[in-house]
Chain A
Amino acid sequence: MFVAWRELWFARGRFGLLVGVVLLITVLVGLLSGLTAGLAGRNTSAVVGLGGDHVVFSGVDGVFGGTGLDEGVARAWAGTAGVERAERLGVSLGRAEAGGRSAGVAVFAVPSGSALRGVEPGQVVVSAGAADELGVKDGQRVTIGDVESTARLSTSDEYFSHAPVVWTHLPADARFSVLILSTSDCDIAKADAAIGTSTESTSDAVDRIGSFAAENGSLVLMRGFLFAISALVVGAFFTVWTIQRSGDIAVLKALGASTGYLLRDALGQAAVLLLIGTALGTGLAATIGAALGDAVPFVLDLATLLVPAAVLVGLGLVGAALAIRRVTAVDPLTALGSAR
Protein backbone atom coordinates (compact mmCIF):
# COMPACT_ATOMS: atom_id res chain seq x y z
CA MET A 1 0.00 0.00 0.00
CA PHE A 2 2.92 2.33 -0.66
CA VAL A 3 1.01 4.49 -3.13
CA ALA A 4 -2.38 4.03 -1.47
CA TRP A 5 -1.38 5.54 1.88
CA ARG A 6 0.17 8.56 0.21
CA GLU A 7 -2.85 9.09 -2.03
CA LEU A 8 -5.11 8.94 1.03
CA TRP A 9 -3.18 11.85 2.54
CA PHE A 10 -2.69 13.75 -0.71
CA ALA A 11 -6.39 13.60 -1.67
CA ARG A 12 -7.66 13.73 1.92
CA GLY A 13 -10.47 16.12 1.01
CA ARG A 14 -12.02 13.71 -1.47
CA PHE A 15 -11.44 10.68 0.72
CA GLY A 16 -12.75 12.61 3.73
CA LEU A 17 -16.04 13.13 1.92
CA LEU A 18 -16.36 9.39 1.31
CA VAL A 19 -15.49 8.64 4.93
CA GLY A 20 -18.19 11.14 5.95
CA VAL A 21 -20.79 9.41 3.78
CA VAL A 22 -19.83 5.97 5.11
CA LEU A 23 -19.89 7.37 8.66
CA LEU A 24 -23.41 8.78 8.24
CA ILE A 25 -24.74 5.59 6.67
CA THR A 26 -23.14 3.58 9.49
CA VAL A 27 -24.81 5.81 12.08
CA LEU A 28 -28.16 5.33 10.33
CA VAL A 29 -27.70 1.56 10.07
CA GLY A 30 -26.48 1.33 13.69
CA LEU A 31 -29.44 3.32 15.02
CA LEU A 32 -31.85 1.37 12.85
CA SER A 33 -30.36 -1.94 14.01
CA GLY A 34 -30.61 -0.95 17.67
CA LEU A 35 -34.16 0.28 17.16
CA THR A 36 -35.13 -2.87 15.23
CA ALA A 37 -33.82 -5.08 18.01
CA GLY A 38 -35.45 -2.89 20.66
CA LEU A 39 -38.83 -2.89 18.93
CA ALA A 40 -38.55 -6.62 18.29
CA GLY A 41 -38.02 -7.12 22.02
CA ARG A 42 -41.15 -5.08 22.76
CA ASN A 43 -43.04 -7.31 20.35
CA THR A 44 -41.75 -10.75 21.10
CA SER A 45 -39.86 -10.97 24.40
CA ALA A 46 -42.81 -12.61 26.20
CA VAL A 47 -43.15 -15.31 23.51
CA VAL A 48 -39.41 -15.94 23.23
CA GLY A 49 -39.20 -16.18 27.01
CA LEU A 50 -41.98 -18.75 27.33
CA GLY A 51 -39.64 -21.71 27.18
CA GLY A 52 -40.63 -24.67 25.04
CA ASP A 53 -39.50 -25.20 21.49
CA HIS A 54 -42.71 -25.15 19.44
CA VAL A 55 -45.97 -23.21 19.38
CA VAL A 56 -49.22 -24.90 18.25
CA PHE A 57 -51.74 -22.70 16.45
CA SER A 58 -55.33 -23.52 15.50
CA GLY A 59 -54.48 -23.60 11.78
CA VAL A 60 -52.18 -22.23 9.10
CA ASP A 61 -53.78 -18.81 9.55
CA GLY A 62 -53.74 -19.08 13.33
CA VAL A 63 -52.21 -16.23 15.27
CA PHE A 64 -51.49 -15.43 18.88
CA GLY A 65 -54.82 -14.33 20.32
CA GLY A 66 -58.29 -15.75 19.93
CA THR A 67 -59.66 -18.96 21.36
CA GLY A 68 -59.08 -21.42 18.56
CA LEU A 69 -57.93 -24.39 20.66
CA ASP A 70 -59.71 -26.50 23.24
CA GLU A 71 -58.98 -29.11 25.87
CA GLY A 72 -59.24 -31.95 23.33
CA VAL A 73 -56.39 -30.50 21.27
CA ALA A 74 -54.29 -30.08 24.42
CA ARG A 75 -54.85 -33.70 25.39
CA ALA A 76 -54.08 -34.91 21.86
CA TRP A 77 -50.75 -33.08 21.80
CA ALA A 78 -49.92 -34.14 25.36
CA GLY A 79 -50.39 -37.74 24.28
CA THR A 80 -48.23 -37.45 21.16
CA ALA A 81 -44.97 -39.38 21.15
CA GLY A 82 -42.00 -37.10 21.75
CA VAL A 83 -44.03 -34.34 23.44
CA GLU A 84 -42.72 -33.80 26.96
CA ARG A 85 -45.07 -30.94 27.86
CA ALA A 86 -47.99 -29.18 26.17
CA GLU A 87 -48.87 -25.99 28.05
CA ARG A 88 -52.08 -24.09 27.34
CA LEU A 89 -51.84 -20.33 26.87
CA GLY A 90 -54.55 -17.78 26.26
CA VAL A 91 -53.37 -14.53 24.70
CA SER A 92 -55.35 -11.31 24.38
CA LEU A 93 -54.86 -7.56 24.46
CA GLY A 94 -56.81 -5.46 26.91
CA ARG A 95 -56.72 -2.67 29.47
CA ALA A 96 -55.78 -3.00 33.09
CA GLU A 97 -56.77 -0.51 35.79
CA ALA A 98 -55.32 -0.05 39.25
CA GLY A 99 -55.48 2.85 41.68
CA GLY A 100 -57.05 5.17 39.12
CA ARG A 101 -54.45 4.49 36.46
CA SER A 102 -54.93 2.34 33.40
CA ALA A 103 -52.65 0.89 30.76
CA GLY A 104 -52.87 -1.29 27.69
CA VAL A 105 -51.62 -4.76 28.55
CA ALA A 106 -51.14 -8.16 26.95
CA VAL A 107 -53.04 -10.72 28.97
CA PHE A 108 -51.42 -14.17 29.12
CA ALA A 109 -53.77 -16.69 30.75
CA VAL A 110 -52.46 -20.03 32.06
CA PRO A 111 -54.19 -22.78 34.04
CA SER A 112 -53.27 -23.67 37.61
CA GLY A 113 -50.06 -25.67 37.76
CA SER A 114 -48.78 -24.44 34.41
CA ALA A 115 -45.04 -24.66 33.90
CA LEU A 116 -45.19 -21.34 32.05
CA ARG A 117 -46.08 -19.30 35.14
CA GLY A 118 -47.70 -20.01 38.47
CA VAL A 119 -51.00 -18.11 38.66
CA GLU A 120 -53.85 -19.00 41.02
CA PRO A 121 -57.51 -18.03 40.60
CA GLY A 122 -58.15 -14.45 41.74
CA GLN A 123 -54.54 -13.53 41.20
CA VAL A 124 -52.75 -11.56 38.48
CA VAL A 125 -48.98 -11.62 38.00
CA VAL A 126 -47.86 -8.18 36.83
CA SER A 127 -44.63 -7.84 34.85
CA ALA A 128 -42.22 -5.00 35.66
CA GLY A 129 -43.30 -2.91 32.66
CA ALA A 130 -46.99 -3.23 33.48
CA ALA A 131 -46.37 -2.48 37.17
CA ASP A 132 -44.47 0.63 36.18
CA GLU A 133 -47.24 1.90 33.89
CA LEU A 134 -50.02 1.08 36.35
CA GLY A 135 -48.07 2.18 39.42
CA VAL A 136 -49.31 -0.98 41.09
CA LYS A 137 -47.84 -2.52 44.25
CA ASP A 138 -47.80 -6.09 45.51
CA GLY A 139 -51.25 -7.08 46.88
CA GLN A 140 -53.05 -4.16 45.25
CA ARG A 141 -56.29 -4.82 43.34
CA VAL A 142 -56.07 -4.78 39.56
CA THR A 143 -59.05 -4.85 37.20
CA ILE A 144 -58.71 -6.42 33.77
CA GLY A 145 -61.89 -6.16 31.75
CA ASP A 146 -64.53 -6.64 34.41
CA VAL A 147 -62.51 -9.08 36.53
CA GLU A 148 -60.78 -7.82 39.65
CA SER A 149 -57.75 -9.72 40.96
CA THR A 150 -54.93 -9.31 43.44
CA ALA A 151 -51.59 -8.19 41.99
CA ARG A 152 -48.41 -10.14 42.51
CA LEU A 153 -45.42 -8.31 41.09
CA SER A 154 -42.89 -10.06 38.89
CA THR A 155 -39.33 -8.90 38.28
CA SER A 156 -39.42 -10.12 34.67
CA ASP A 157 -39.94 -7.45 32.01
CA GLU A 158 -42.00 -9.12 29.29
CA TYR A 159 -43.69 -7.49 26.33
CA PHE A 160 -46.03 -8.76 23.66
CA SER A 161 -47.10 -6.65 20.68
CA HIS A 162 -45.69 -3.54 22.40
CA ALA A 163 -47.79 -4.08 25.51
CA PRO A 164 -46.44 -5.16 28.92
CA VAL A 165 -47.65 -8.58 29.97
CA VAL A 166 -49.93 -9.51 32.89
CA TRP A 167 -50.52 -13.17 33.70
CA THR A 168 -54.00 -14.28 34.69
CA HIS A 169 -55.64 -17.58 35.54
CA LEU A 170 -57.15 -19.71 32.75
CA PRO A 171 -60.10 -21.85 33.91
CA ALA A 172 -59.63 -25.57 33.35
CA ASP A 173 -62.31 -25.96 30.66
CA ALA A 174 -61.72 -22.62 28.89
CA ARG A 175 -60.69 -22.43 25.26
CA PHE A 176 -57.28 -20.90 24.63
CA SER A 177 -55.02 -19.43 21.91
CA VAL A 178 -51.91 -21.58 21.59
CA LEU A 179 -50.11 -24.56 23.04
CA ILE A 180 -46.47 -24.25 24.06
CA LEU A 181 -44.71 -27.55 23.40
CA SER A 182 -41.53 -28.97 24.83
CA THR A 183 -40.55 -31.82 22.54
CA SER A 184 -37.88 -34.39 22.02
CA ASP A 185 -37.69 -36.23 18.69
CA CYS A 186 -41.34 -35.57 17.84
CA ASP A 187 -42.81 -35.84 14.32
CA ILE A 188 -44.49 -32.44 14.41
CA ALA A 189 -45.82 -32.51 10.85
CA LYS A 190 -47.46 -35.88 11.32
CA ALA A 191 -49.06 -34.79 14.58
CA ASP A 192 -50.25 -31.53 13.02
CA ALA A 193 -51.92 -33.46 10.22
CA ALA A 194 -53.58 -35.85 12.65
CA ILE A 195 -54.81 -33.22 15.12
CA GLY A 196 -55.64 -30.49 12.59
CA THR A 197 -53.33 -27.79 13.92
CA SER A 198 -50.40 -25.76 12.61
CA THR A 199 -47.16 -25.80 14.59
CA GLU A 200 -44.13 -23.56 14.30
CA SER A 201 -40.80 -23.48 16.06
CA THR A 202 -40.70 -20.73 18.68
CA SER A 203 -38.33 -18.64 16.55
CA ASP A 204 -40.69 -18.83 13.55
CA ALA A 205 -43.82 -18.41 15.65
CA VAL A 206 -42.99 -14.76 16.36
CA ASP A 207 -43.82 -14.02 12.72
CA ARG A 208 -47.44 -14.77 13.64
CA ILE A 209 -47.48 -11.73 15.89
CA GLY A 210 -49.10 -9.42 13.34
CA SER A 211 -47.46 -6.19 14.47
CA PHE A 212 -44.03 -7.82 14.59
CA ALA A 213 -44.07 -9.18 11.04
CA ALA A 214 -45.08 -5.83 9.51
CA GLU A 215 -42.87 -3.67 11.69
CA ASN A 216 -39.78 -5.84 11.57
CA GLY A 217 -40.15 -6.37 7.83
CA SER A 218 -40.23 -2.62 7.21
CA LEU A 219 -37.18 -1.95 9.38
CA VAL A 220 -35.18 -4.81 7.89
CA LEU A 221 -36.06 -3.57 4.40
CA MET A 222 -34.84 -0.07 5.29
CA ARG A 223 -31.61 -1.46 6.65
CA GLY A 224 -31.16 -3.58 3.53
CA PHE A 225 -31.57 -0.50 1.36
CA LEU A 226 -28.96 1.33 3.42
CA PHE A 227 -26.53 -1.56 2.96
CA ALA A 228 -27.14 -1.47 -0.80
CA ILE A 229 -26.83 2.34 -0.94
CA SER A 230 -23.54 2.18 0.95
CA ALA A 231 -22.10 -0.40 -1.44
CA LEU A 232 -23.28 1.64 -4.44
CA VAL A 233 -21.82 4.90 -3.08
CA VAL A 234 -18.46 3.26 -2.38
CA GLY A 235 -18.51 1.55 -5.79
CA ALA A 236 -19.39 4.80 -7.56
CA PHE A 237 -16.63 6.70 -5.74
CA PHE A 238 -13.98 4.16 -6.61
CA THR A 239 -15.20 3.94 -10.21
CA VAL A 240 -14.62 7.68 -10.63
CA TRP A 241 -11.38 7.54 -8.62
CA THR A 242 -10.00 4.65 -10.69
CA ILE A 243 -10.88 6.43 -13.94
CA GLN A 244 -9.23 9.63 -12.67
CA ARG A 245 -6.01 7.83 -11.80
CA SER A 246 -5.91 5.51 -14.80
CA GLY A 247 -2.94 7.54 -16.13
CA ASP A 248 -0.99 6.87 -12.94
CA ILE A 249 -1.96 3.19 -13.10
CA ALA A 250 -0.69 3.00 -16.69
CA VAL A 251 2.63 4.54 -15.60
CA LEU A 252 3.01 2.08 -12.72
CA LYS A 253 2.22 -0.83 -15.04
CA ALA A 254 4.73 0.43 -17.59
CA LEU A 255 7.32 0.67 -14.81
CA GLY A 256 6.71 -2.96 -13.93
CA ALA A 257 3.96 -2.99 -11.30
CA SER A 258 1.97 -6.20 -11.53
CA THR A 259 -1.81 -6.02 -11.81
CA GLY A 260 -2.06 -7.93 -8.51
CA TYR A 261 0.08 -5.31 -6.76
CA LEU A 262 -2.13 -2.52 -8.07
CA LEU A 263 -5.36 -4.33 -7.14
CA ARG A 264 -4.09 -5.00 -3.60
CA ASP A 265 -3.02 -1.38 -3.29
CA ALA A 266 -6.41 -0.04 -4.41
CA LEU A 267 -8.47 -2.54 -2.42
CA GLY A 268 -6.38 -1.82 0.68
CA GLN A 269 -7.14 1.85 0.18
CA ALA A 270 -10.87 1.10 0.06
CA ALA A 271 -10.61 -1.09 3.16
CA VAL A 272 -8.89 1.68 5.12
CA LEU A 273 -11.60 4.18 4.19
CA LEU A 274 -14.41 1.76 5.01
CA LEU A 275 -12.87 0.79 8.34
CA ILE A 276 -12.36 4.42 9.37
CA GLY A 277 -15.88 5.41 8.28
CA THR A 278 -17.63 2.47 9.92
CA ALA A 279 -15.54 2.69 13.11
CA LEU A 280 -16.39 6.37 13.54
CA GLY A 281 -20.03 5.76 12.58
CA THR A 282 -20.37 2.82 14.95
CA GLY A 283 -18.87 4.86 17.77
CA LEU A 284 -21.29 7.71 17.09
CA ALA A 285 -24.27 5.33 16.87
CA ALA A 286 -23.27 3.74 20.19
CA THR A 287 -22.99 7.18 21.80
CA ILE A 288 -26.39 8.24 20.51
CA GLY A 289 -27.91 4.89 21.56
CA ALA A 290 -26.51 5.24 25.06
CA ALA A 291 -27.76 8.82 25.29
CA LEU A 292 -31.28 7.73 24.32
CA GLY A 293 -31.46 5.58 27.45
CA ASP A 294 -35.00 4.32 28.02
CA ALA A 295 -36.60 7.05 25.90
CA VAL A 296 -37.02 4.59 23.01
CA PRO A 297 -36.71 0.81 22.85
CA PHE A 298 -33.09 0.55 21.73
CA VAL A 299 -30.75 -2.40 22.08
CA LEU A 300 -27.09 -1.48 22.35
CA ASP A 301 -24.97 -4.61 22.04
CA LEU A 302 -22.34 -6.23 19.84
CA ALA A 303 -24.95 -7.77 17.54
CA THR A 304 -26.65 -4.45 16.77
CA LEU A 305 -23.39 -2.51 16.41
CA LEU A 306 -20.62 -4.76 15.11
CA VAL A 307 -22.63 -7.04 12.81
CA PRO A 308 -24.08 -4.17 10.71
CA ALA A 309 -20.63 -2.53 10.67
CA ALA A 310 -19.07 -5.75 9.41
CA VAL A 311 -21.77 -6.08 6.73
CA LEU A 312 -21.17 -2.46 5.66
CA VAL A 313 -17.44 -3.07 5.35
CA GLY A 314 -17.99 -6.35 3.50
CA LEU A 315 -20.51 -4.94 1.01
CA GLY A 316 -18.43 -1.77 0.61
CA LEU A 317 -15.44 -3.90 -0.31
CA VAL A 318 -17.55 -5.78 -2.85
CA GLY A 319 -18.64 -2.45 -4.38
CA ALA A 320 -15.05 -1.19 -4.38
CA ALA A 321 -13.72 -4.44 -5.85
CA LEU A 322 -16.19 -4.25 -8.74
CA ALA A 323 -15.04 -0.69 -9.43
CA ILE A 324 -11.34 -1.35 -8.94
CA ARG A 325 -11.25 -4.28 -11.36
CA ARG A 326 -10.99 -1.57 -14.04
CA VAL A 327 -7.32 -1.54 -13.06
CA THR A 328 -6.89 -4.76 -15.00
CA ALA A 329 -8.07 -3.07 -18.20
CA VAL A 330 -5.63 -0.13 -18.07
CA ASP A 331 -3.10 -0.45 -20.90
CA PRO A 332 0.45 0.48 -19.82
CA LEU A 333 1.14 1.53 -23.39
CA THR A 334 -0.92 4.68 -22.79
CA ALA A 335 1.87 5.85 -20.45
CA LEU A 336 4.02 6.39 -23.53
CA GLY A 337 1.40 8.81 -24.77
CA SER A 338 2.26 9.00 -28.41
CA ALA A 339 2.95 5.34 -28.96
CA ARG A 340 0.41 4.98 -31.76
Chain B
Amino acid sequence: MSLILRSVTLTYPDGDRRLTALDAVDLHVPAGTVTAVVGPSGSGKSSLLAVAATLVRPDSGEVLVGETPVHGMDRRALAALRRRSIGIVFQQPNLLPALTAAEQLRVMAHLDGRRGTADLLAEVGMAELAHRRPHQLSGGQRQRVNIARALVNRPRVLLVDEPTSALDHARGAAIVDLITSTTRAHGVATVLVTHDRAHLAGVDQVVDLVDGRVRSR
Protein backbone atom coordinates (compact mmCIF):
# COMPACT_ATOMS: atom_id res chain seq x y z
CA MET B 1 0.00 0.00 0.00
CA SER B 2 1.77 3.10 -1.19
CA LEU B 3 1.18 6.64 -2.32
CA ILE B 4 1.91 7.39 -5.95
CA LEU B 5 1.85 10.71 -7.76
CA ARG B 6 2.41 10.49 -11.53
CA SER B 7 3.26 13.61 -13.47
CA VAL B 8 1.06 15.80 -11.29
CA THR B 9 0.68 19.42 -12.37
CA LEU B 10 -1.25 21.98 -10.37
CA THR B 11 -1.80 25.63 -11.25
CA TYR B 12 -3.58 28.43 -9.43
CA PRO B 13 -5.13 31.56 -10.92
CA ASP B 14 -2.86 34.56 -10.40
CA GLY B 15 -4.42 37.68 -11.86
CA ASP B 16 -4.89 37.13 -15.57
CA ARG B 17 -2.39 34.26 -15.73
CA ARG B 18 -1.88 31.00 -13.86
CA LEU B 19 0.80 30.23 -11.32
CA THR B 20 2.32 26.75 -11.51
CA ALA B 21 2.51 25.26 -8.00
CA LEU B 22 3.44 21.71 -9.06
CA ASP B 23 5.07 20.95 -12.39
CA ALA B 24 4.88 17.30 -13.54
CA VAL B 25 5.77 15.94 -10.11
CA ASP B 26 6.40 12.20 -9.77
CA LEU B 27 6.51 10.66 -6.31
CA HIS B 28 6.37 7.08 -5.05
CA VAL B 29 6.14 6.50 -1.30
CA PRO B 30 6.20 2.79 -0.42
CA ALA B 31 4.31 1.47 2.58
CA GLY B 32 6.21 1.56 5.86
CA THR B 33 8.58 4.29 4.68
CA VAL B 34 8.94 8.02 5.28
CA THR B 35 9.55 10.38 2.38
CA ALA B 36 10.58 13.87 3.39
CA VAL B 37 9.65 16.66 1.00
CA VAL B 38 11.87 19.65 1.63
CA GLY B 39 12.16 23.01 0.02
CA PRO B 40 11.97 26.71 0.66
CA SER B 41 8.77 28.56 1.32
CA GLY B 42 6.66 28.74 -1.84
CA SER B 43 8.32 25.73 -3.44
CA GLY B 44 5.04 23.81 -3.63
CA LYS B 45 5.36 21.55 -0.56
CA SER B 46 1.94 22.34 0.83
CA SER B 47 0.38 22.13 -2.63
CA LEU B 48 1.84 18.66 -3.01
CA LEU B 49 0.39 17.74 0.37
CA ALA B 50 -3.01 19.20 -0.59
CA VAL B 51 -3.09 17.15 -3.80
CA ALA B 52 -2.02 13.98 -1.97
CA ALA B 53 -4.70 14.65 0.65
CA THR B 54 -7.32 14.88 -2.14
CA LEU B 55 -8.19 18.41 -0.99
CA VAL B 56 -7.22 19.84 -4.39
CA ARG B 57 -7.69 18.28 -7.82
CA PRO B 58 -4.55 18.57 -9.97
CA ASP B 59 -4.81 20.04 -13.46
CA SER B 60 -3.26 16.86 -14.82
CA GLY B 61 -1.51 13.72 -13.66
CA GLU B 62 -2.58 10.85 -11.47
CA VAL B 63 -2.78 10.24 -7.72
CA LEU B 64 -3.11 6.72 -6.32
CA VAL B 65 -3.80 6.10 -2.63
CA GLY B 66 -2.95 2.47 -2.11
CA GLU B 67 -4.10 1.05 -5.43
CA THR B 68 -7.04 3.44 -5.61
CA PRO B 69 -6.90 6.12 -8.31
CA VAL B 70 -8.36 9.38 -7.00
CA HIS B 71 -9.25 10.78 -10.40
CA GLY B 72 -12.98 10.94 -11.06
CA MET B 73 -14.12 10.50 -7.46
CA ASP B 74 -16.93 12.82 -6.33
CA ARG B 75 -16.77 14.90 -3.14
CA ARG B 76 -18.48 12.26 -1.00
CA ALA B 77 -16.16 9.50 -2.19
CA LEU B 78 -13.13 11.70 -1.57
CA ALA B 79 -14.31 12.40 1.99
CA ALA B 80 -14.71 8.66 2.56
CA LEU B 81 -11.23 8.04 1.14
CA ARG B 82 -9.72 10.65 3.46
CA ARG B 83 -11.62 9.17 6.39
CA ARG B 84 -10.48 5.60 5.80
CA SER B 85 -7.21 5.75 3.94
CA ILE B 86 -5.48 9.07 4.60
CA GLY B 87 -4.21 10.39 7.90
CA ILE B 88 -3.28 14.06 8.09
CA VAL B 89 -0.98 15.59 10.70
CA PHE B 90 -1.53 19.33 10.46
CA GLN B 91 1.14 21.97 10.91
CA GLN B 92 -0.86 23.52 13.72
CA PRO B 93 -2.33 20.59 15.64
CA ASN B 94 -5.85 21.82 14.79
CA LEU B 95 -7.36 19.92 17.68
CA LEU B 96 -11.01 20.63 18.40
CA PRO B 97 -11.10 22.82 21.53
CA ALA B 98 -14.21 21.18 23.00
CA LEU B 99 -12.78 17.66 22.95
CA THR B 100 -10.35 15.93 25.29
CA ALA B 101 -7.29 14.19 23.87
CA ALA B 102 -9.11 10.85 23.96
CA GLU B 103 -12.15 12.36 22.25
CA GLN B 104 -9.98 13.83 19.46
CA LEU B 105 -9.36 10.20 18.51
CA ARG B 106 -12.86 8.97 19.20
CA VAL B 107 -14.36 11.55 16.86
CA MET B 108 -12.34 10.05 14.02
CA ALA B 109 -13.71 6.59 14.76
CA HIS B 110 -17.20 8.13 15.07
CA LEU B 111 -16.88 9.72 11.63
CA ASP B 112 -16.26 6.25 10.29
CA GLY B 113 -19.12 4.70 12.24
CA ARG B 114 -16.89 2.84 14.68
CA ARG B 115 -16.22 3.06 18.41
CA GLY B 116 -12.75 1.75 19.20
CA THR B 117 -9.63 3.89 18.93
CA ALA B 118 -7.07 1.23 19.92
CA ASP B 119 -4.43 2.39 22.35
CA LEU B 120 -2.89 5.05 20.18
CA LEU B 121 -2.62 7.69 22.89
CA ALA B 122 -0.41 5.30 24.88
CA GLU B 123 1.61 4.69 21.73
CA VAL B 124 2.41 8.40 21.44
CA GLY B 125 3.02 8.73 25.19
CA MET B 126 -0.21 10.59 25.97
CA ALA B 127 -2.22 7.99 27.89
CA GLU B 128 -1.88 9.87 31.17
CA LEU B 129 -3.23 13.08 29.64
CA ALA B 130 -6.13 11.54 27.75
CA HIS B 131 -8.72 13.56 29.65
CA ARG B 132 -7.14 16.94 28.98
CA ARG B 133 -8.39 19.42 26.44
CA PRO B 134 -6.05 21.15 23.94
CA HIS B 135 -5.63 24.32 26.03
CA GLN B 136 -4.35 22.13 28.88
CA LEU B 137 -1.60 20.58 26.73
CA SER B 138 1.81 21.85 25.61
CA GLY B 139 2.68 22.29 21.93
CA GLY B 140 4.54 18.99 21.80
CA GLN B 141 1.72 17.15 23.54
CA ARG B 142 -0.82 18.60 21.13
CA GLN B 143 1.32 17.45 18.22
CA ARG B 144 1.43 13.92 19.67
CA VAL B 145 -2.36 13.85 19.88
CA ASN B 146 -2.43 15.19 16.31
CA ILE B 147 -0.31 12.23 15.18
CA ALA B 148 -2.38 9.68 17.11
CA ARG B 149 -5.59 11.15 15.61
CA ALA B 150 -4.19 10.76 12.12
CA LEU B 151 -3.61 7.04 12.74
CA VAL B 152 -6.97 6.17 14.32
CA ASN B 153 -8.66 4.86 11.20
CA ARG B 154 -5.57 2.83 10.21
CA PRO B 155 -4.78 4.87 7.08
CA ARG B 156 -2.68 3.66 4.17
CA VAL B 157 -1.12 7.08 3.75
CA LEU B 158 0.08 9.52 6.41
CA LEU B 159 0.57 13.14 5.35
CA VAL B 160 2.54 15.27 7.79
CA ASP B 161 2.70 19.04 7.33
CA GLU B 162 5.62 20.87 9.02
CA PRO B 163 5.18 19.08 12.37
CA THR B 164 8.19 20.73 14.02
CA SER B 165 7.55 24.35 13.01
CA ALA B 166 6.24 25.36 16.43
CA LEU B 167 8.56 23.19 18.51
CA ASP B 168 12.08 23.59 19.84
CA HIS B 169 14.87 21.37 18.47
CA ALA B 170 14.61 18.58 21.06
CA ARG B 171 10.83 18.33 20.86
CA GLY B 172 10.95 18.56 17.08
CA ALA B 173 13.41 15.66 16.93
CA ALA B 174 11.21 13.61 19.25
CA ILE B 175 8.15 14.24 17.06
CA VAL B 176 10.00 13.22 13.86
CA ASP B 177 11.26 10.09 15.64
CA LEU B 178 7.69 9.32 16.66
CA ILE B 179 6.46 9.77 13.09
CA THR B 180 9.20 7.49 11.81
CA SER B 181 8.53 4.77 14.36
CA THR B 182 4.75 4.84 13.88
CA THR B 183 5.23 4.71 10.12
CA ARG B 184 7.18 1.48 10.51
CA ALA B 185 4.82 0.09 13.14
CA HIS B 186 1.64 0.79 11.14
CA GLY B 187 3.08 0.17 7.68
CA VAL B 188 1.81 3.45 6.28
CA ALA B 189 3.27 5.44 3.41
CA THR B 190 4.30 8.71 5.05
CA VAL B 191 5.01 12.03 3.39
CA LEU B 192 6.75 14.44 5.75
CA VAL B 193 6.70 18.01 4.46
CA THR B 194 9.26 20.25 6.15
CA HIS B 195 11.62 23.13 5.49
CA ASP B 196 13.85 21.95 8.35
CA ARG B 197 16.54 19.48 7.28
CA ALA B 198 17.80 19.01 10.84
CA HIS B 199 15.59 16.03 11.64
CA LEU B 200 15.86 13.95 8.47
CA ALA B 201 18.38 11.36 9.59
CA GLY B 202 15.77 8.62 10.08
CA VAL B 203 13.71 9.13 6.91
CA ASP B 204 13.91 6.75 3.96
CA GLN B 205 13.82 9.23 1.10
CA VAL B 206 14.33 12.97 0.72
CA VAL B 207 12.75 14.88 -2.14
CA ASP B 208 13.82 18.45 -2.90
CA LEU B 209 11.09 20.61 -4.31
CA VAL B 210 12.01 23.89 -5.97
CA ASP B 211 9.49 26.05 -7.85
CA GLY B 212 7.09 23.13 -8.03
CA ARG B 213 9.60 20.72 -9.54
CA VAL B 214 11.38 17.75 -8.02
CA ARG B 215 15.03 18.71 -8.27
CA SER B 216 16.93 15.87 -6.62
CA ARG B 217 16.55 12.74 -4.47
**Interface residues, chain A, CB within 8 Å of chain B?**
2-3, 6-7, 9-11, 247-248, 251-259, 261, 332-333, 335-340
Give the complex CA separation of A7 and B112 in angstroms. Answer: 20
B residues near A336, Cβ cutoff 8 Å:
46, 49-50, 53, 55, 88, 90-91, 161
Known: A333-B50, A339-B49, A339-B50. A251 touches B94 (CB 8 A): yes
Q: A6-B98, A248-B96, A261-B111 are in contact. Are A337 and B91 (CB under 8 A)?
A: yes
* B144 located at the interface, meaning its Cβ lies under 8 Å from any Cβ of chain A in the complex: no
Mark the stretch among B102-110, B183-191, B199-207 that contacts chain A.
B102-110
Q: A255-B88, A256-B79, A339-B56 are in contact. Are A7 and B50 (CB under 8 A)?
A: no
The answer to whether A3 and B84 touch (CB under 8 A), given A248-B96, A256-B112, is no
The interface of chain B, by Cβ under 8 A from chain A, is: 12, 21, 46-47, 49-50, 53, 55-56, 75-76, 79-84, 86, 88, 90-92, 94, 96-99, 103, 106-108, 110-112, 133, 149, 153, 161-162
| Interface pair B98/A3, CB less than 8 Å apart | yes
Q: Which residues of A have CB within 8 Å of B98?
A: 3, 6-7, 9-11
Closest to B98 in A: A10
Contact A339–B47 (Cβ < 8 Å):
yes
Contact of A251 with B82 at beta-carbon distance under 8 Å, contacts A336-B55, A339-B49 already known: no
Question: Cα distance A251–B150 when bound, in Å?
Answer: 12
CB distance A248 to B90 under 8 Å?
Answer: no
Contacts of A261 in B (CB 8 A): 111
Instruction: List 17 A-B residue pairs with CB atoms under 8 Å apart, sorted by A's residue number.
Output: A6-B99, A7-B98, A11-B98, A254-B88, A256-B111, A258-B80, A333-B50, A335-B90, A336-B46, A336-B49, A336-B88, A336-B90, A336-B91, A338-B46, A339-B47, A339-B49, A340-B46
Contact A256 B49 (CB under 8 A): no
Partner pick for A10 among B75, B81, B97, B106, CB 8 A cutoff: B97
Given contacts A2-B106, A6-B99, contact A256 B56 (CB under 8 A): no
Taking a contact as CB atoms under 8 Å apart, the answer to whether A3 and B96 are in contact is: yes
CA–CA, A6 to B111, complex, Å?
A: 15
A2 x B107 contact (CB < 8 A): yes
Q: Which residue from A3, A11, A254, A258 sits with its C-beta under 8 Å from B55?
A: A254
Residue of A nearest to B21 (CB): A340
Q: A6-B103, A256-B82 are in contact. List 15 more A-B contacts (CB 8 A).
A: A11-B98, A251-B94, A252-B96, A255-B111, A256-B79, A256-B81, A256-B84, A257-B83, A258-B76, A258-B79, A333-B55, A333-B56, A336-B91, A337-B91, A340-B47
Contacts of B91 in A (CB 8 A): 336-338
The residue on A at minimum CB distance from B80 is A256
- Known contacts A6-B98, A254-B88; A332 and B112 CB within 8 A of each other: no
Chain B residues contacting A252 (CB-CB under 8 Å) are: 96, 107, 111
Cβ-closest 10 pairs across A and B: A256-B83, A10-B98, A256-B82, A2-B110, A7-B98, A251-B94, A6-B98, A333-B55, A339-B50, A339-B46
Chain A, Cβ-Cβ closest to B95: A251
In the bound complex, residues from chain B placing their C-beta under 8 Å from that of A338 are 46, 91, 161-162
* Contact among A248, A258, A332 with B97 in the assembled complex (CB-CB below 8 Å): A248
User: How far apart are B152's CB and chain A's nearest CB, in angstroms?
Assistant: 9
A254, B94: Cα distance in complex, Å? 11
The residues of A that contact B106 with a CB separation of less than 8 Å are 2
Complex Cα distance, B28 from A25, in Å, reads 61
Report the bound CA distance from A247 to B90 in whole Å: 12
Most chain B Cβ neighbours within 10 Å, of A252, A254, A336: A336
Question: A12 to chain B: closest CB distance in Å?
Answer: 10
Least CB distance from A256 to B in Å reads 3
Measured in the bound complex, the distance between the Cα atoms of B108 and A261 in whole Å is 12
Nearest chain B CB to A95's CB is how many angstroms away?
68
- Nearest chain A CB to B191's CB is how many angstroms away? 13
Closest chain-A Cβ to B203's Cβ sits at a distance in Å of: 21
Q: Nearest-CB distance from B71 to chain A (Å)?
A: 18
Interchain nearest-CB distance for B100 vs A (Å): 8
Whether A3 lies near B99 (C-beta < 8 A) is: yes
Please, which residue of chain B has its CB at the minimum distance from the CB of A9? B98
The residues of B that contact A333 with a CB separation of less than 8 Å are 50, 55-56
- From A333, which residue of chain B is reached at the shortest CB distance? B55
